[in-house]
């Protein structure tokens, strides 16, 4: 009432105001300037750098610790060629867990407020150009250039691999590293469903808690009853869901602020992630490298990965801009796609004639150079075009197109 009375006291009579406006020329009539568009958020440069570090950790795991014999005279398997370094790179496979945490954060960052059509277009444009090239290049390597590596694969698998859905079709991966892309794809399908029903802060928070808890409850409950849990692993993938969900909870803290409930969601997912990842990585590290480390080490590393991401996105470090960080982030995906098979091939070719240190440096330089070429000449020109085409195409689908083009 006070505000209303004050406005009535200072406002001129309507007739006086109308006459004044009629007497003004267009030049004299005040015009309200259009609101300035919101300033774009600065890129999270430190997170870009962390993504490349995660990729390099996986690279060194596959090259210097994994039990391949391509180092030749330097040692077979790889851990013998690198007896000191491999003790550390043997846990480099946890770079995948870091990818999943960052993905949970970044995908929500880029999809919140987007229509389903735009989300589909952005994912297709971002993922497929480099991936298609990588599948064709790896297929050429294992079926033509280095057929010894392709003895357990079939050329007919190429077609399923080009869809990126081969994991769901029961078809083997042309390159073993593609298994993570199927896990990512299932996460994207969950986010697509979210864009259809509408994203809100409360719904995201509820999902970040319910999804991993429900998946774990079904997995252990049905397993204890002797029931099949295969469908639970396909739909809920409890082994990795908490990593994505924890990243989603960190996004809520980053974008909408700190609350006890959001921090509780982070804590729950950190515990579940440490539980699952410690068991998986301890077993796989022993099988693939021969090294055995205590469960507590793997759990501590997973907790540390969450802590690093939280520090980089929730503190002033999120505003730090590093030269070259954007490029580092852009190279991460093609480095991951190309490094394993092509890296082994380079190592196999050069090991007979060069010291192992030179071989490692040259292989890494070659993969980074190839990744830059893919980013510059494949992703940069084709990605945006494919994104626009898919977004428009999905929006034109009969019956559902209009619905997919709206933000819920």
Give the residue-averaged pLDDT of 235-249: 97
DSSP code of residue 125: H
Whether 356 has a pLDDT exceeding 80, the answer reads yes
What number of other Cβ atoms are within 10 A of residue 188's Cβ? Answer: 17
Whether 344 has a pLDDT exceeding 60, the answer reads yes
Give the residue-averaged pLDDT of 74-79: 85
Contact 104, 251 (CB under 8 A): yes
How would residue 176 be classed by pLDDT, with cut points 50, 70 and 90? very high
Whether 16 has a pLDDT exceeding 90, the answer reads no
Of 132-136, 153-157, 244-248, which range is least confident? 153-157
Instruction: Return the half-sphere exposure (C-beta side, CA atoms, 13 A cut-off) of residue 25.
Output: 2
Task: Return the closest-CA partner of residue 195 out of 99, 121, 101.
Answer: 121
How would residue 151 be classed by pLDDT, with cut points 50, 70 and 90? confident
How would residue 54 be classed by pLDDT, with cut points 50, 70 and 90? very high
pLDDT of residue 352: 93
Please tell me the distance from the alpha carbon of residue 264 to that of residue 3, in angstroms, as a whole number.
Answer: 41
How would residue 291 be classed by pLDDT, with cut points 50, 70 and 90? very high
Which of the pair, 274 or 13, is modelled with greater confidence?
Answer: 274
Whether 69 has a pLDDT exceeding 70, the answer reads yes
Residue 31 Cα to chain centre, angstroms: 46
C-alpha dist (Å) from residue 86 to 70, 280, 382: 15, 19, 38
Domain boundaries, given as residue ranges, for the chain: 94-390
Residue 232 Cα to chain centre, angstroms: 22
Mean pLDDT of the chain: 89
How would residue 405 be classed by pLDDT, with cut points 50, 70 and 90? low
Q: What is the pLDDT of residues 92-148, one digit of tens each?
A: 999 999 999 999 999 999 888 888 889 999 999 999 999 999 999 999 999 999 998
DSSP code of residue 142: I
Residue 303 Cα to chain centre, angstroms: 18
pLDDT of residue 196: 87
How would residue 26 be classed by pLDDT, with cut points 50, 70 and 90? very low
DSSP code of residue 316: G
Which of the pair, 65 or 149, is modelled with greater confidence?
Answer: 65
Which of the pair, 149 or 99, is modelled with greater confidence?
Answer: 99
With residue 327 as reference, give the H or E element that holds it.
Answer: helix 325-350
């Amino acid at each position: 009432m006070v505000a209303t009375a004050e406005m009535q006291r200072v406002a001129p009579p309507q007739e006086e105001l109308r006459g004044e406006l009629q007497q003004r020329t267009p030049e004299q009539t005040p015009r309200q300037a259009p609101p300035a568009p919101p300033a774009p958020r600065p890129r999270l440069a430190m997170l870009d750098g962390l993504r490349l570090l995660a990729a390099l950790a996986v690279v060194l795991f596959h090259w210097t610790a994994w039990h391949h014999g391509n180092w030749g005279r330097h040692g077979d398997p790889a851990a013998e060629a690198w007896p000191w370094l491999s003790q550390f790179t043997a846990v480099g496979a946890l770079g995948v867990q870091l990818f999943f945490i960052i993905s949970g954060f970044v995908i929500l960052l880029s999809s919140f407020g987007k229509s389903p059509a735009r989300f589909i277009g952005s994912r297709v444009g971002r993922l497929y150009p480099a991936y298609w090239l990588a599948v064709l290049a790896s297929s050429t390597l294992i079926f033509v250039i280095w057929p010894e590596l392709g003895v357990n694969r079939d050329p007919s698998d190429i077609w399923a691999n080009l869809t990126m859905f081969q994991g769901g079709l029961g078809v083997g991966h042309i390159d073993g590293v593609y298994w993570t892309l199927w896990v990512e794809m299932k996460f994207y399908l969950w986010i697509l469903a979210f864009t259809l029903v509408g994203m809100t802060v409360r719904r995201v928070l509820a999902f970040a808690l319910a999804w991993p808890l429900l998946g774990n409850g079904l997995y252990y409950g049905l397993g204890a009853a002797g029931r099949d849990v295969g469908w639970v692993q396909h739909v809920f993938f409890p082994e990795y869901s908490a990593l994505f969900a924890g990243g989603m909870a960190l996004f809520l803290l980053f974008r909408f602020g700190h609350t006890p409930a959001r921090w509780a969601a982070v804590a729950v997912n950190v515990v579940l992630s440490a539980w699952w990842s410690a068991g998986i990585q301890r077993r796989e590290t022993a099988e693939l490298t021969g090294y055995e480390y205590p469960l507590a080490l793997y759990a501590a590393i997973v907790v540390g990965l969450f802590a690093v991401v939280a520090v980089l996105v929730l503190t002033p470090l999120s505003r730090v801009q590093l030269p070259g960080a954007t490029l580092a982030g852009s190279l991460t995906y093609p480095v991951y796609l190309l490094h394993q098979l092509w890296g082994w091939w380079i190592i196999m070719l050069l090991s007979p004639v060069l010291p192992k240190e030179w071989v490692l440096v040259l292989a890494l330089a070659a993969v980074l150079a190839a990744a830059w070429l893919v980013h510059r000449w494949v992703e940069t020109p084709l990605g945006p075009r494919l994104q626009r085409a898919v977004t428009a195409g999905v929006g034109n689908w009969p019956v559902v197109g209009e619905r997919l083009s709206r933000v819920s």
